[in-house]
Structures are given as C-alpha cells and as structure tokens.
Structure 1
Amino acid sequence: NPYTITNFSNKLQKTQRLASWFIFNKYSHVHFSTKQCELAHLRMFESRTKYERLKFLFQIIHNCVKTKKSECFEICSTESSRHRHSMYIPNAPVKNDCFKYSFFIPRALRICYPIPL
C-alpha cells in the first residue's frame, strides 16, 4: 500500500497511542502504549482499512448496499474448479496508477486472491 506508508499513517498511530493513554488515564512513559491499544481494542490503521475494504466488498456482493455489483465489477459465473470458485471476481486490466491504487476494488481483490509465490 503506497498510501499507508506515509506521514498520515504515522500521525494516526501517534493519535491512537495518545488516545490509549487518555482512555486508561495513564500518561507516564512507563506504560506501553501498544499494550494499552490492545486492551482498548484499537486496531492499527492498516488492519482497520483492510477489514473495512473486505467488509464493503462483502456488502456489495450480497446486495447490502444500494450500489449495484454490476457497476463495480463483473463476477465470473463459470463452473467452479480447483483454482476458482463460483464467486470469483477477475481483476480488471489497468494501464495507469489512478485505478491501480484506488481505495477499493484492486486492493480488496489482492487481499481476497493473493498472488501465489
């Protein structure tokens, strides 16, 4: 993710650490902020965006939002095989970085269907 390895991500993590100090009313540097974040169930920025991306993909596929899935992507309704299931979403070919690094579709598909090594 080229957009999460920025100064914004670092600022957000710092804000989360300060929030965990505020939640538990422990402002000294003796207490570990990462442990306090875990106790307060504050997830890291990357895991939270990954979760929200997959949740939104699930909601579109199962018609829980008013967005039509045919407008976003095309589901291959071919016969299930060993490598692809019936709800396989093919990755759209992209020529520029505008769509390649967009928030939703390509990143969510890379999480769902990781590239085998």
Structure 2
Amino acid sequence: MVEPLHGWGLMLLAVLATFVWRFAGVLVAGRITEDGRLFAWIAAVAYAMVAALMARVVLMPRGDTAWETMWPRALALAVGFVLWRLAGKRLVIGLAGGVAAFAVLVALGY
C-alpha cells in the first residue's frame, strides 16, 4: 500500500508549486514595462483587493474586531486613507497607519 505524502514530501511539493509561479514571474517580468497597460491593470487589481479587504474588515468584522463598534474601524480606515494620499499613494504607509490608528483607539477604550 502506498503511504500518503506527508512531511518532506508535502514540503517539496509546496516548494515546487511556488517555484513554478516565481519562475514564470521572472520570465514575464522582463517584458512588462512600468508604464504599460498590463502593469497598470496589475496595480489596479492589487488596489481593488486591498480596498475590498478593508471594506470587509470595517463592515463585516470577524474575531476580536467584531466586538468593537463600527466607528473606530471607520476612523482607522479614514486615517489610513489620508496617510496613503499624503505619502504619495504608498500602500504600506496607509495600511500601517490605519492599523496603528485602530490599535490606539482600541487601547484607549473606544
């Protein structure tokens, strides 16, 4: 009887599956220009995914954030958006600022 894959076998399969997409990305990356339509589409999809996730976190929270009222989540989202705009649309700055604002509001008991 054949044993199911586990341990090192599963890890090897995961590495191979990840490597295939990384290798494909390396091959394609040299052909994508930063000013091209494909890059603009990829950026738009990335922003849309983050926006959808943030809307879901504010409107339909799960876990520990579900116990908090809506206004700290909405205020933290607004802070993140303002920081994103002020930082020249740098996504990491907006996300970090929003998360930090929410953490401060929760720590203060709001």
When normalised by structure 2's length, the TM-score is 0.29
Higher RCO (CA-CA < 8 Å; seq separation 6+): 1
When normalised by structure 1's length, the TM-score is 0.27
